[in-house]
Amino acid sequence: MREGLEIFSPVDNAGRFTDEFCEGSFAGLSVLDEGNQAIIDHVSKRDVLLLEEKYNHKYPYDWRTKKPTIFRATEQWFASVEGFRDQALEAVRGVQWTPEAGEKRIFNMIEGRNDWCISRQRTWGVPIPVFYDGDGEPVLNQQIISRVAELFREHGSDIWWELEAEDLLPEQYRGEGLQKGMDTMDVWFDSGSSWNAVTKQSPEMTFPADVYLEGSDQHRGWFQSSLLTSVATEGQAPYKKVLTHGFVLDQNGLKMSKSVGNVVDPLKLVNGGNNQKTEPAYGADVLRLWVSSVDYSGDVLVGPEIIKTVSDSYRKIRNTLRYIVSNVNDYDPRTGMSFDELPVLDKYMLRRLATIAEDMEAAYETSSFVRLYQGLMRFATVDLSNFYLDIAKDRLYISGTDDYRRRSCQKVLYHLLEILTRSIAPILPHTAEDLWRNVPWKTSSSVFEAGWIQPEPSWSHEDPETDAAMELFRRVRTDVNKCLDAARNAKRIGSGLAAKVSLSVADDAVIEALQKFNPSSGEGNTVDELCYYLLVSEVNLSKDMAVADGAEFSLVGEESGVHVGVDVASGNKCDRCWVYSEQVGKSENHPLLCDRCEEVMTNIGVTSQPVPELAQ
């Protein structure tokens, strides 16, 4: 066509040569079977065959029938994109593509695409509503289209195959000998028009759609056909956002196949197999967490070992949240203290919560689920389990019911539940609902009816000095724990509460920052103190390096640069809080308790406590 040559296609619909080829010498012969040998014989007799040999080469096969394919030139219906190509390219720029590389990919495809062949010769599909006269010329206009559309609407598209042409045509075209066409619509034109059938016809839907999502191969398919049909008729893209993903492979990176036997059944992962020991039931939330944990922009792997690893991560999240909800059973948010009344540690943790909440919301908005998963795991394990909740145990278990140090901690736990339960709900709905049903304060019946919640503005007020001090302390804590482990391994202490820690720091700024959290006995708020942060019985700060270096166990901190020393704590062990103190044994009423625990017991009405060895 480009060179203006006449089309020559001497092959019929059955794949046999027509009379047009070689003056009919091969008419009726199959192109792929006897026709091949007949041509070889024909040229051999004329002594013009240069060489005949068999060799293996690539050849196109039909994927469904597994038979060779013949390409021939036939009349087809085409949709020209020339008239709106620039408009389509502009529409591409107005869509949010995730990942961003998708924009360039589809832009280049549309920029370089030819006219779109929209007709197919198949025995199934949506028919093209065109008729032909006696000369084979198409007859198609708005009247015919409206009549056929009305029949399709009432009876479905199969009516085209069931009725004769006379019954399909408008009355004024009957009796003219028109024949109905047998071509079907390209399935991509069919599916590419789905936006009209869905968003345009459903009152609860809006056009354009919020998001289209499919595999990355659909830039050439559904995404593109939808864009072209919509731009051609509506002048805009049918979607605001397009999200593409890779394909799911087995845990060895191989394509899943029934014949190979490596297909991973999601229902079996959720409900378990016949042998629950070898094929345990992980539940839907674990499978959903796996989806959140992988980078869907490329191919992803799944299998029993991978799901088991994700299950371990899920258990950490669930156990963290279960611990929180189990420690707010007597908390009333209506009587909670204000942010300004909280200890430094609690303010710091609420600022961390505000940051992770904002990060998770941003991850949802951009469909960056792997970033959401990583942030959630880091917060649940590093910030909560290994840090804040570890420190909180003393405040929650040892303090009096209404003590400042306990109620302030519960306020943080309350906000953690309120925000994290909502934040995990889209990916862990069953876990979120379970949590929501068990919070002690009045809530909506479902977490999904509660609405999103934003951190309080006061949490986000910057306090760089305090935040820097807390980050310093966390590094010191890591170094102290290493030194405590050395003492434990040597069997000199059991828990950290059996230790006295010495911190030697030459830097004036560092020791000044740490000194704020090491008040004299009885002068602190019993929260923002190094002994409670480090979970030890005593902390000694010094600018003299020999103090820490001369301890029974010592090291120079890799994280903080602080010199750390650990000795066995002096005093006796409190039976209630396990802290070692010189005060244990000095009280007549509570000889086995430290002064802190004695005060708590007295406040709840236990004025004396006999020594177990002397009790009758």
What pLDDT score does 278 carry?
87
- Helices (H) then strands (E): counts for the chain: 22, 18
Burial code (b: 16+ CB inside 10 Å, e: under 16) for 542-578 equals beeeebbeebebbbebeebebbbbbbebebbbbbbbb
| CA 307/CA 318 separation, integer angstroms | 16
What pLDDT score does 613 carry?
60
- What CATH code is assigned to 78-245? 3.40.50.620
198-220 pLDDT, tens digit per residue, is: 998 888 889 999 999 999 889 99
307-341 pLDDT, tens digit per residue, is: 999 999 999 999 999 999 999 999 999 888 999 99
User: Are residues 316 and 377 in contact, defined by beta-carbon separation less than 8 angstroms?
Assistant: yes
354-390 pLDDT, tens digit per residue, is: 999 999 999 999 999 999 999 999 999 999 999 999 9
| CA 344/CA 470 separation, integer angstroms | 9
What pLDDT score does 305 carry?
92
Tell me the CATH number of domain 305-460, given options 1.10.730.20, 2.40.30.10, 3.30.420.270, 3.40.50.150. Answer: 1.10.730.20
Strands 96-98 and 239-245: parallel
User: Are residues 199 and 206 in contact, defined by beta-carbon separation less than 8 angstroms?
Assistant: yes
What pLDDT score does 87 carry?
96
- Residue segments in the chain with a per-residue pLDDT below the cut of 70: 1, 611-616
What pLDDT score does 612 carry?
66
Tally of CB atoms within 10 A around 521: 12
Which string of DSSP letters, residue by residue, matches 31-71? TTTHHHHHHHHHHHHTT-------------B-TTT--B---
Task: State the span(s) of the chain assigned CATH 3.40.50.620.
Answer: 78-245
Task: State the span(s) of the chain assigned CATH 1.10.730.20.
Answer: 305-460
CATH class of 464-570: alpha beta
Task: State the span(s) of the chain assigned CATH 3.30.2320.20.
Answer: 464-570
What pLDDT score does 1 carry?
67
| CA 360/CA 372 separation, integer angstroms | 5
Which string of DSSP letters, residue by residue, matches 375-418? HHHHIIIIIIIIIIHHHHHHHHHHS-TT-HHHHHHHHHHHHHHH
| CA 407/CA 92 separation, integer angstroms | 54
Q: Inter-axis angle of helices 389-398 and 595-603, to 10 degrees?
A: 50
Q: What is the distance between the terminal CA atoms of the chain, rounded to a whole angstrom?
A: 111
User: Residues in the chain, how many?
Assistant: 616
